[in-house]
Structure 1
Amino acid sequence: MNNIYVVFEDIDEDGGFGDAIPTKEAVIAFYTKSKADEYVLENSHEEVYDVPYDELKRGGMHVETVPVKDD
């Protein structure tokens, strides 16, 4: 079994009552963890939304490992 490494962008959405709902969106996938980590280091720029949404963040990234079955 092999792995692919998927980079996700972390985005908080407004839940309507001032609470943050964390969401994630797949951005790109790599065959090596080192390439995925390098991409995150170069492209992850977490920032906070402006008032009144200053509890919400966007732009952060993380890597998740996804196993892929060999045929």
Structure 2
Amino acid sequence: MADTQPHYLTLAEVADRYRTTERTVRYWRQTDYGPKAVKVGRHVLYPVAELEAFDQRLLSDTAA
């Protein structure tokens, strides 16, 4: 059976993925840069689909 649940990463996991600090990822969120986050209760989570879209934007920006 296929897994249809959306996958989310935490702030710490996103910082680790991009080899930066949690503070930097928070700054990205404040300035509308970086992957889009969703708030679930008091938790900020990042959908994997948004991370992949951000990766594509980074790749296209460096190719241009």
Could you state the TM-score of these two structures normalised by the residue count of structure 2?
Answer: 0.28
Bigger share in strand? 1
Q: What is the TM-score of this pair, normalised by structure 1?
A: 0.26
Larger-gyration structure (1/2): 1
Greater RCO (CA < 8 Å, at least 6 residues apart):
1
